[in-house]
Structure 1
Amino acid sequence: MADIHATARPRSSAARICTIIAFVFAAIAIFILPPLFGLVGLVLGIVGAVLGDKPLGWYAAAASVAGAVIGMIISYVVLTN
């Protein structure tokens, strides 16, 4: 019987580092330069997921997009009042 995880890519420390940094950038994107940090977090989350840190890498990518959107909404509210 074949191992179910034989085709899955093993998680590396580089994948975990990319995922962690993506989550950090998602949090930073809420407060500072949302488009920049959101985009970089998105890319790092995808890289982490592709390198084997699934599903956490995809969650980090989604969190980065959400952080960028929330940051832009907060910036709009602060700057228009």
Structure 2
Amino acid sequence: MADMPATARPRSSAARVCTIIAFVFAVIAIFFLPPLFGLVGLILGIVGAVLGDKPLGWWAAAASVAGAVIGIIIAYALLRH
């Protein structure tokens, strides 16, 4: 911990759990209720990043947004007549 910058937080298990759940919600958002699961995944990804899981938390947030967008596009393609 001596070589860690003063502004960096140590990674906690809560941060890792939030990040993993955000990735799971990103996948669920593709198939089921994209706006809801995409938004929750985005929030959990940001929380994970703020709690200390920096790079992976931001990737989870971005994946949740991408999953929501893909899910909305798929739903539109399937439901339009």
Structure 1 stretches lacking a partner, 5+ long: none
Q: TM-score scaled to structure 1, two decimals?
A: 0.94
Q: Does 1:28 align with 2:28?
A: yes
Instruction: Name the residue aligned to 2:70.
Output: 70
Query: Aligned pair in 2 of structure 1 residues 4, 11: CA closer, same or farther (>3 Å)?
Result: closer
Deviations 1:22-73 (A, max 9, x none): 0000000000000000000000000000000010000000000000000000
State the 1:6 CA deviation. Answer: 3.2
Instruction: Name the residue aligned to 1:55.
Output: 55
RMSD (Å) for aligned C-alpha atoms: 1.2
How far, CA to CA, are the matches of 2:61 and 2:7 in structure 1? 23
Instruction: Name the residue aligned to 1:12.
Output: 12
List, as ranges, runs of 4+ consecutive aligned residues in structure 1 with deviation greater than 4 Å.
Answer: none
What percentage of residue pairs aligned between the two structures are identical? 84
Q: TM-score scaled to structure 2, two decimals?
A: 0.94
